[in-house]
Structure 1
Amino acid sequence: MEEKTDNAVSDAAGIAAAASRASKKGPPPVHLWNPPFCGDLDMEIRADGSWFYNGTPIGRPEMVRLFASILKREGDDYFLVTPVEKVGIRVVDAPFIAVDAEIGEDIVFTTNVGDRVSAGPGHEIEMRGTPEEPRPYVHIRRGLWALIDRKTFYRLADAAMPGDNGRMEVRSGGTVFPLEP
């Protein structure tokens, strides 16, 4: 991430207030915002999906959802953005966890921050890792992925069928997704 600039880094409360104002009219259009970089914030999303600020867990789910709504990815870096500022944060693995899925004709995932996406074009299921230690992910929005938690992946695997190449796969949104790396 870039180093801190001359501008003072905003605190989490200021970012949250700006995000709250922006989200009153629907989901914030973070993809349209390109404010100046204001430095890094001591905020981290850990591999288990928990959010920390200054080394302390953010315990209010509504605050985590608010921050998640203004999360933006640029390359390998993650930022919280408002119309007037952009601050860097750390993400250990994926910013979200897919904690449930409705498995039917389509597969609809729910994340730990309340996002719901139907797997298909634009919301791909991707296997990373190795055959011994697969790591399944689903694309949520604009380069932001969710790690599919173990119980949900086991349910996907239970619903999978062998494909033409012999690999186990699931279908959703007219797309075939292999469940093996």
Structure 2
Amino acid sequence: MNDNMEWSKAQPDPNHTGAEAKQNQAQNDLFAELSQYLKENNDPLQLKNQRRIPPLANWHPKQVGDIDIVIKANGEWWHDGRPILRQALVNLFATILLQETINGEIQYFLKTPAQKLRIEVEDAPLLIDSVAVAIEDEVAFLEFTTNTGDVVRLDHEHLICLKPFMAKGASSADIRPYMFIRDGLSALINRNTFYHLIDIGKLQEKNGQTVLVLQSGNQTFNIAMPIDS
């Protein structure tokens, strides 16, 4: 792994057993290989202007394992207990993010032609941090951008829904807004963006319930607001 990557490998711990040391070394090797693959196959400067999602469905890696990467509930990516500070690398990791349902449980992986590595996701795998009105052929669309570079417009393939989320240690669930992005992956809409969305739309009372009415691409979308909002 090159020196300018702003995270570090797990360091050997003299208190670890031989099995634990081998597991840490295997994890470090997998992470180094994944980082090298991304470096060779993606150009962060190019991705600033053009989003490129690899053909994950065409890849059938034989090596499957786990890696200590966590996508926090606030959208931060962590490795080995530390945040990954280079946003360009986080953006690249997001392009190879895969969701699968195994034995009824949703699991997330980073996938390359050679490896499929399971990671932990505390809430949604992606985070929307901005919304704007885009005009195309005199038609207004609501356009959402994630903090890792995905751009989608509100339509019937990219809907918004409200779902409960129970944070670790919390006594009750929060109702949070999510949006479908791609390939089964959803994104949490962060608080400031959702407030902006409320300003853009209209709140109406329908059948005794508050509904956020949004217009995008000459279509109307209704989002029922939680009672305590």
Place the TM-score, normalised by the shorter chain, in its bin.
Answer: 0.7 to 0.9
RMSD: 2.6
Using the TM superposition, give the Cα deviation of residue 143 of structure 1 relative to its aligned residue in structure 2, in angstroms. 1.1
- Counterpart of 1:92 (choices 106, 118, 122) is 122
State how 1:26-37 maps to structure 2 within 5 Å: 26-37=52-63
Q: Is the 8 A contact 2:178 2:189 kept in 1?
A: yes
- Tell me which structure has the larger Cα radius of gyration: 2
Matched, 1:70 2:96: yes
Q: Could you tell me which amino acid in structure 2 is paired with residue 120 of structure 1? A: D
Identity level (%): 37
**TM-score normalised over the length of structure 2:** 0.68
Matched, 1:160 2:201: yes
- Counterpart of 2:150 (choices 79, 97, 115) is 115
What does residue 35 of structure 2 align with? Answer: 16
| Higher relative contact order, chain-length normalized (CA < 8 Å, sep 6+) | 1
What does residue 79 of structure 1 align with? Answer: 109
Q: Could you tell me which amino acid in structure 2 is paired with residue 142 of structure 1? A: D
Aligned partners of 1:140 and 1:73: how far apart in 2?
Answer: 12
**TM-score normalised over the length of structure 1:** 0.84
Using the TM superposition, give the Cα deviation of residue 10 of structure 1 relative to its aligned residue in structure 2, in angstroms. 4.5
What does residue 180 of structure 1 align with? Answer: 225
Aligned partners of 2:155 and 2:77: how far apart in 1?
Answer: 28
Displaced runs of 4 or more, over 4 A: 7-10, 163-166
Q: Aligned residue pairs: how many?
A: 175
What does residue 138 of structure 1 align with? Answer: 179
Q: Is the 8 A contact 2:27 2:66 kept in 1?
A: no
What does residue 214 of structure 2 align with? Answer: 170
Q: Is the 8 A contact 1:49 1:95 kept in 2?
A: yes
Between 1:119-128 and 1:9-18, the stretch displaced more is 9-18
Unpaired segments ≥5 residues, structure 1: none
Between 1:152-161 and 1:10-19, the stretch displaced more is 10-19
Distance 1:109-1:124 versus aligned 2 partners, 3 A rule: same
Using the TM superposition, give the Cα deviation of residue 74 of structure 1 relative to its aligned residue in structure 2, in angstroms. 0.4
Unpaired segments ≥5 residues, structure 2: 1-22, 44-51, 135-139, 166-172
